[in-house]
Structure 1
Amino acid sequence: MQVIVDLCVVPLGVGVSVSEYVAACQRVIEASGLGYRMHAYGTNIEGPWDAVMAVVKACHERVHAMGAPRITTTLKLGTRTDREQSMDDKVASVETRLRSSAPGAAEA
């Protein structure tokens, strides 16, 4: 089963700045070979369910190995069985609707 997740891993007990830990997690995600897109408050990851969940676990393992005693993670996920859909497909669908409903679009 394919899945798209929105992952936000936040180490606790490591101080105010967490960018070092986020960068380490991003390296884990990149090394997985899965499709991903980092954004301001997390990362979208897409691929087979087991592979994506393995990356989530690997991120936790890496951040703990860096000394974070606790981690809180927000994970949103979605699956479809009616058809295949990628992150790019989802974004393109909304962008198409935005263009078609833009002011003046009906006049063009």
Structure 2
Amino acid sequence: MGLPKPSVGPEIAEVQRVLEKSGLEYKLHGYGTNLEGPWDDVVRVIGECHQAVHALGCQRIATDIRIGTRTDKSITSGGNDSKVKRVVDILASEKK
């Protein structure tokens, strides 16, 4: 927000660079980026993303965040990708 152009591609690319350096799992999609990891790390990296985009000259940033946590089991890997795979597998089994 606060840029003289409608495209935010360069700013999103900078966010992806920050996420790559973070070591956290992330996945860019058409309307945002999924970010996975320990709470403190995720919040810290979101702040780093804001700092990086401000450094590009963007004076105002709005970030929408949806947070999900669980205490019933530990998620060791796969996170959101495994959720998607589960649904894809269900749909595939119906076609057999």
TM-score, structure 2 as length reference: 0.89
2:82 is aligned, of 83, 86, 89, to: 89
- The structure that has the greater radius of gyration is 1
Segments of structure 2 that go 5 or more residues without pairing to the other structure are none
Secondary structure, aligned partner of 2:62: strand
Quick one: which amino acid aligns to residue 46 of structure 1?
A: E
Segments of structure 1 that go 5 or more residues without pairing to the other structure are 1-11
Equivalences for residues 7-22 of structure 1 within 5 A: 12-14=1-3, 15-22=5-12
- Shift >3 Å, 4+ stretches: none
Alpha carbons of 1:84 and 1:92: their partners in 2 closer, same or farther (altered >3 Å)?
A: farther
2:21 is aligned, of 31, 38, 51, to: 31
Q: Which has the higher helix share?
A: 2
Secondary structure, aligned partner of 2:63: strand
1:47 aligns with 2:37: yes
Identity of aligned residues (%): 48
Q: Which fold has the larger relative contact order, with Cα–Cα distance below 8 Å and residues 6 or more apart in sequence?
A: 1
Equivalences for residues 67-106 of structure 1 within 5 A: 67-85=57-75, 86-102=79-95, 105=96
TM-score, structure 1 as length reference: 0.80
Tell me what 1:9 maps to: none
Secondary structure, aligned partner of 2:6: coil
Q: Deviations over 1:26-55 (max 9, x none)?
A: 100010011111111111111111001111
**RMSD between superposed Cα atoms in Å:** 1.1
